[in-house]
A and B are shown apart, each in its own frame.
Chain A
Amino acid sequence: MIGAHDLGGKQGFGRVLPVRKPDTSASDRHEPLFHAEWERRAFALTLATGMLGQWNIDESRHARESQDPQRYLDNSYYETWLVGLQKLLHAKGLLEPEELESLPFAASVDISTSLSTLRHNGPVIEPPSPAKANELLAKGGPTRLPDSRQPKYAVGTAVQVLPMTHVGHTRAPQYVHDAKGIIHAINGVHIYPDANAHRRDEDAVVGEILYTVSFARVALFPSHALQASVKECNEDRIFVDLWEPYLIHD
């Protein structure tokens, strides 16, 4: 889906940093990781409940992204995490609708758009201890699969990106839809997010070849180059990681 999260190349958001005196360095200025205690808790709750193994990273991203676009842009960063978490807890049956409704400001989360109505009927879930959590964080969740299939496109091949406009999850940003690029690298077979975000328990994990595709910035954003206050260079390249089903031969 082309949601409000798909921000690459969108215009009108203004400066990244405020205008500052020329002699002050911007580098690594004191900047807290969390601006309020609730952000710390929302972050940790998201990671801790993720460790219960009831959803994958693509479901988690899709839960955050499939919001009313206006709301997505209005939300602060961790507010969107919180919305995603509440939707997942509902979709996976870890919290009953009544329990979610009993929370303050429940109306601000639209659980009617939840992706699944699967109820949790598995064995009793054991939340990880602090030591177990650290172990899981250190282990991470690799997405590369042991799969030796041959890639369809060799490095240097000219490809075009399909318009990935289906309503489900995708990691093909809109600014490369229909764009022409060159295969820069082949990164092996990785879990395919478009399938993984909608995977049911009985479905097998789908993997696809993951490429890094190189695009000419000026071809993606020709008008930006004319309007920018700083002269952009026609030689600049944009690299995007894209799965094989997103691509066709140019």
Chain B
Amino acid sequence: MSNSEDHDHDHDHTAPPPELELRVKALESLLVEKGLVNPETLNEIIDTYEHRVGPRNGAQVVAKAWTNAKFRQSLLADATDAVASLGFMGRQGEHLKVVENSASVHNLVVCTLCSCYPWTVLGLPPAWYKSAPYRSRAVSEPRAVLAEFGTQLADTTRVQVWDSTAELRYLVLPQRPAGTEGWSEAQLAALVTRNAMIGVEVVNPPETNEASR
């Protein structure tokens, strides 16, 4: 658990009220009793999204695009197909688009109307992505939002914000950081963060050796 110093406030502020526990429990019992829900299926769904589908999928996609020019091309042309070739497909990833960062363009993804997010490559969204501050401000003041994540862009870099209002799901292809020449896909994938694939951060160069400081 976090200590008070770095306690995260990006979860919902209300403590879980016991009434919600009771409401969900009662509803689940009723649906199971009526034969509308299989309780084992509930456990399976939770397990899938808590342990099997997540941002490591997306990191693998990014690392492959950085090392394989042909894959990068097919990813930018038809992300759904290219990502499916790595075995990632399904719900909330039916129609994928990959938007590529460069020295002159930085991409950022939001869903102002709800919480649309590319589940197949990033899993379920973090709490801040679903929050009113992010959904309201990402389109009106994207650079101020980026600054909160410690991301400073050059004035000459154009920010492009993608509001996921339809069933297209967006994944940001970040810039490959300097100092990673000759790295393997697995080494590169370990550098790629979820936040960089949403576009609120960039992928930082590998940490400088402590001893060399």
Interface residues of chain A, those whose CB is within 8 Å of chain B, are 5-11, 13-18, 20, 22, 24-45, 47-49, 52, 57, 61, 64-65, 73, 76-77, 79, 82, 85-86, 89, 94-95, 99, 102-105, 108, 125, 127-130, 132-134, 136-144, 171-173, 175, 187, 190-191, 193, 210, 212, 217, 220-221, 224-225, 228-233, 235-243
Contacts and interface: CB of A to CB of B under 8 A. Distances in A.
B3 interface: no
Nearest to B2: A30
A94 B36 CA distance: 8
Nearest to B50: A33
Contacts of A47: 45
Nearest to A80: B114
30 contacts: A7-B132, A8-B136, A8-B139, A9-B136, A16-B128, A16-B145, A26-B201, A31-B11, A32-B11, A38-B25, A41-B25, A42-B24, A57-B167, A76-B12, A104-B23, A105-B22, A129-B38, A130-B41, A136-B91, A137-B90, A139-B90, A142-B167, A144-B95, A144-B167, A173-B113, A217-B161, A221-B140, A231-B155, A241-B166, A242-B165
Give chain B's interface residue range (CB within 8 Å of chain A): 35 or more
Contact of B24 (A24, A65, A82): A82
Contact of A140 (B91, B113, B194): B91
Nearest to B40: A130
Contact of A31 (B20, B24, B127, B168): B127
B142 A217 contact: yes
Given A5-B113, A17-B128, A140-B90, A236 B6 contact: no
B30 interface: yes
B14 interface: yes
A242 B41 CA distance: 35
Interface of B: 2, 6, 8-12, 14, 16, 19-28, 30-31, 34-38, 40-46, 48-50, 55, 89-95, 110, 112-115, 120, 123-124, 126-128, 130-145, 147-150, 155, 158-168, 193-196, 201
A41 B28 contact: yes
Nearest to B106: A236
Contact of A228 (B94, B126, B141): B141
B144 A138 contact: no
Nearest to A40: B46
A179 to B, nearest CB: 11
B10 to A, nearest CB: 6
Contacts of B94: 140-144
Closest 4 interchain pairs by CB? A8-B112, A241-B166, A130-B44, A36-B16
Contact of B40 (A8, A129, A193, A231): A129
A212 B166 CA distance: 9
Residue among A18, A33, A105, A236 with the highest chain B CB neighbour number at 10 A: A236
B30 A220 contact: no
A104 B48 contact: no
B166 A171 contact: yes
Contacts of B25: 38, 41
A28 B150 CA distance: 13
Contact of B141 (A5, A42, A187, A230): A230
